Amino acid sequence: MDERAAPEQGSVTELGALVDAGAFWRLVPESVPREYAEPTRVLIERVHAGLKRLVGDPDGATEHPRHWEPGDVARDTRTDRVGRVMGHVGPCCRLRPLTGGREGEAYAGDMVPARQSDAMSPRVRELNRRSRDHAPRSW
């Protein structure tokens, strides 16, 4: 007779037993690799930066990310994209390119106010493209 008692439902012991039995992998999408891969330095740095962003600097030296209002023009320093803030959810803002198009996501901590030249460049490119497309072909 088995003298071990069944783990209490919802306990850490039960969860550990499920993971040991391989139940964890039934919950994970097939796209997640099942083999161990040695983490790269780039991955470790990204995880470290993300954790720092979540908990902030322990010394209090890090400034809290700015609160972005819809309509503000910002530059994402991580991707160097410039766009208009359309809204936000938690630490992420939705940025729409100044010339229109699909919104992208950016962390508020990675965004800075766009310089005038940042804000003008996409609009000037768009106007130049339009003028080339509609310019008379014969001189």
Q: Is 75 helix (H, G, I), strand (E, B) or coil?
A: strand
Query: In Å, how far from its chain's centre is CA 4?
Result: 46
Q: Is 132 helix (H, G, I), strand (E, B) or coil?
A: helix
Q: Would you list the domain boundaries of the chain?
A: 73-134
pTM for the structure as a whole: 0.45
Do the beta carbons of residue 94 and residue 105 sit within 8 Å? Answer: yes
Q: What is the pLDDT of residue 60?
A: 45
* Amino acid making up residue 70: P
* Amino acid making up residue 74: A
Output DSSP code: residue 70. T
Q: What is the pLDDT along the chain (139 residues), one digit of tens a residue?
A: 445 555 566 677 777 777 777 776 777 777 777 777 788 888 888 888 877 777 665 544 455 567 888 999 999 988 888 899 999 887 889 999 888 889 999 988 889 998 877 777 767 777 887 887 776 666 5
The DSSP secondary structure of 12-46, one letter per residue, reads HHHHHHHHHTTHHHHHS-TTS-SS--PPPHHHHHH
